[in-house]
């Protein structure tokens, strides 16, 4: 898997990552690794946290990373029932609300960590959430801010397949996280399998599988690809050209005997020797005309009854 500072999972113009997990494999550790990588790139990281308290999300970050995380607390009072100031509640998740939170950070590019997108989708209309994801970079740009990427954690088994596919279509890239089989990695690793689906600028889609683990300090370590997942090398095994005749119900190819028989057939527009010599005579084309008839081999020519072959 590429390091988190390479490529990404943009959910909107401006970039972003969208780890996608299930109950069998938690993807939060991956978005924490993305957050650490963004801080190392010199970006401000705004964490919109709804599922875990701030102390739990920050646990394990090294001292040089923790100050770069700007946590917006949506866990303590997510529905704004207590009215405590300073929190980030669900109704604030809008283009304007997120842009106002970004203005409280340092200048320069910013990464938004959404923990989690599933929490919002279970409490807000899906069209509203999707529209906000698309409009956040534009709203931030109008306020003079730049959103480099949006990293949104999605629990895939909490939503219907149609909604999951819609969110995949909105993303420039999706990372599906699952457990790795036994025997992958060394002792002490907690390997996982990442299935990355990335849409290139040209419109092509690239899918890749790779084992990985997250080291202390939320540093990613690649553990190699599953057997058979690498694409074929055209230099070693060049792809064969597709044969368009393989699925036809009739034969369009000729055997050697059929080809020789075809070459012996005289085409109807070919001139006979008599017609060729007549056209080459002096005075041809001076106003006189002739009609030439070259009977086919199957013609039944009867001089006494020329119309005998007609059904009259």
219 closest CA partner among 5, 77, 33: 33
Q: According to CATH, what is the number of the domain 19-224?
A: 3.40.50.300
Look at residue 254 and tell me whether its pLDDT is greater than 90: no
- In this structure, which long-range contacts are made by residues 210-216, counting pairs with CB atoms below 8 Å and at least 24 apart in sequence? 210/1, 211/180, 211/184, 211/185, 212/1, 213/185, 213/189, 214/29, 214/30, 214/32, 214/33, 214/190, 216/60
With a pLDDT cut of 70, the percent of the chain lying above it is 72
Tell me, yes or no, if the pTM score tops 0.75.
no
Residue 115 is encoded by which pair of tokens?
Answer: 């923990």
172 closest CA partner among 140, 195, 147, 204: 204
33 closest CA partner among 216, 273, 264: 216
Beta bridge partners, 193, equal 178, 211
CA distances from 147 to 15, 98, 169, 245, 254 (A): 7, 11, 20, 52, 64
Give tens-digit pLDDT for 88-114: 888 889 999 898 888 878 888 999 999
Give tens-digit pLDDT for 11-53: 333 444 556 677 778 889 999 999 999 999 999 999 999 999 9
pLDDT for the residue 189: 72
CA dihedral 37, 40, 109, 4 (to 10 degrees): -20
**Would you kindly state where each structural domain of the chain is located, as residue ranges?**
19-224
Average pLDDT, the chain: 79
């Amino acid at each position: 898997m590429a390091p988190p500072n390479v490529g990404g999972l943009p959910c909107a113009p401006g970039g972003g990552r969208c780890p996608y997990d299930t109950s069998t494999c938690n993807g939060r550790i991956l978005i924490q690794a993305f957050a650490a990588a963004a801080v190392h790139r010199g970006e401000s990281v705004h964490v919109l946290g709804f599922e875990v308290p701030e102390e739990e999300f920050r646990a394990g970050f090294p001292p040089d990373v923790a100050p770069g995380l700007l946590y917006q607390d949506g866990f303590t009072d997510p529905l704004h029932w207590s009215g405590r100031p300073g929190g980030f509640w669900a109704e604030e998740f809008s283009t304007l609300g997120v842009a106002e939170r970004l203005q409280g950070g340092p200048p320069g590019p910013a990464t938004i960590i959404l923990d989690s997108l599933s929490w919002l989708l279970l409490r807000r209309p899906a069209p509203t959430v999707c529209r906000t994801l698309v409009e956040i970079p534009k709203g931030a740009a109008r306020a003079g801010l730049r959103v480099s990427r949006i990293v949104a954690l999605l629990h895939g088994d909490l939503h219907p397949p149609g909604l999951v596919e819609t969110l995949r279509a909105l993303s420039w890239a999706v990372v599906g996280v699952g457990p790795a089989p036994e025997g992958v990695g060394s002792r002490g690793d907690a390997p996982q399998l990442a299935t990355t689906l990335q849409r290139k600028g040209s419109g092509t889609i690239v899918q890749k599988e790779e084992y990985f683990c997250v080291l202390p300090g939320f540093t990613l370590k690649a553990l190699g690809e599953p057997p058979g997942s690498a694409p074929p090398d055209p230099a070693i095994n060049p792809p064969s050209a597709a044969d368009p005749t393989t699925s036809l119900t009739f034969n369009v190819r000729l055997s050697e005997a059929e080809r020789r028989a075809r070459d012996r057939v005289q085409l109807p527009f070919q001139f006979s020797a008599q017609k060729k010599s007549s056209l080459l005579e002096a005075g041809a084309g001076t106003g006189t005309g002739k009609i030439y008839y070259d009977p086919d081999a199957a013609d039944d020519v009867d001089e006494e009854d020329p119309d005998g072959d007609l059904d009259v």
